[in-house]
Amino acid sequence: MYKENTYFISDIHLGLPNHKKSLKREKLLVKLLDEIKKDAKTVYFVGDIFDFWWEYKHVVPRGYVRLLGKIADLSDSGVKIHFFTGNHDVWMKSYLPKELGIQLHKKELKTEINGKKFFIAHGDGLGPGDTGYKFLKSIFTNKFLQWCFSRLHPNFAFSLARFWSQSRRKKEKHYVYKGEDKELLILFAKNILEKEHFDYFIFGHRHFPMIINIGKKSKHINIGDWLINYTFVKYNGKKIEQFTFKNSIIEKHSTDLSKKYKLDIFS
C-alpha cells in the first residue's frame, strides 16, 4: 500500500492523573497507531505526550513501554516520526532519538508537505502576553537550574514534579474557545502571516480542538488532547481533517467552538 498520510497527535499527558487512567489512554493510543500504520508516511507528536519527562545521564522515567515499543515499531517499518517537546516534557534529550529513531524538535518547525507550507509547534509561550508563563519557561529551560535539579535523587525529583503538575491541572476546570481576538496562538499565526505565508498552522498545547480559516488562504489547527477529546489530525496531501478515537473507532470530529470541554480526568 502506498503510504501518503501525515498524522498529528498531541497532549496525551501520560502519567496523569494516575497509573490506571494513564495506562488506559496509552493502550488506546497504541491501538490508534496500529490503525494508522498501514497508511502513515509521517507521524508528528506535537508535545506533552508525557505529563512529565526528565532524563538523567543514566535514568529515564519508568513506564510507557507499550507506546515506546509501538513508536519504535513504526520507525523501524519506515514511518518517519517527529517528536516535539511541550511544556511538560521539555527536558527530552538524546534517549528517545537514539532508542526509537525519531527526530526531536525543541523549537517550531517550518516544513513543506505535498507542496503545502506547514508551521508546526507545540505552542507554549507563543503569541502576545502570557508573561507569567514565559518567565516560568525561562526558568525551566535555564541550563544551570536544570543542572541543579538533576542533582536531586530521581525518586524525590519525579515525585515533586508530578505533584506540581497535578496541582496545576486540578485548577484548570474548563477549556473554552476565547475568540479570534483573544486566542494567543491565533494572534501569533496572524502575525506570522504578515511576514510569510503558510497554508497550515499546527499547534497543540491549547487542548481545544479546532480547524478555522485565518487570513486569505490559511488554516489554524489545534490538535486537541487525549485527556478529554481524544482527537488527532490527518493530512492526506489534499485536505486536512480532524478525527476522534475515543471508543476505538475513528470518527470525524465536528468542532463546536461555543462548546466548553470540562476537565474530568480526576473524577
Interior CA angle at 107 toward 212 and 73, to 5°?
85
**pLDDT tens sequence across 11-35:** 999 998 889 999 999 999 999 999 9
User: According to the model, what pLDDT value does residue 129 have?
Assistant: 73
Interior CA angle at 22 toward 160 and 242, to 5°?
120
User: According to the model, what pLDDT value does residue 113 have?
Assistant: 95
User: According to the model, what pLDDT value does residue 175 have?
Assistant: 80
Which of helix, strand or coil describes residue 146? helix
For the record, the C-alpha cell of 92 comes out as 527530552
Note if the bond before 128 is cis, omega within 30 degrees: no
- Residue pair 113/91 in contact by the 8 Å Cβ criterion: no
Query: Which residues, given as ranges, of the chain have pLDDT below 50?
Result: none
pTM for this prediction: 0.91
User: According to the model, what pLDDT value does residue 155 have?
Assistant: 83
Q: Which residues pair with 8 in a beta bridge?
A: 44, 233
d(CA 87, CA 47): 8
User: According to the model, what pLDDT value does residue 141 have?
Assistant: 75
User: According to the model, what pLDDT value does residue 161 have?
Assistant: 74
Short-list 173, 185, 244, CA closest to 212: 185
Domains of the chain, start order: 5-262 (3.60.21.10)
User: According to the model, what pLDDT value does residue 171 have?
Assistant: 65
User: According to the model, what pLDDT value does residue 223 have?
Assistant: 96
Encoded amino acid at 200, one letter: Y
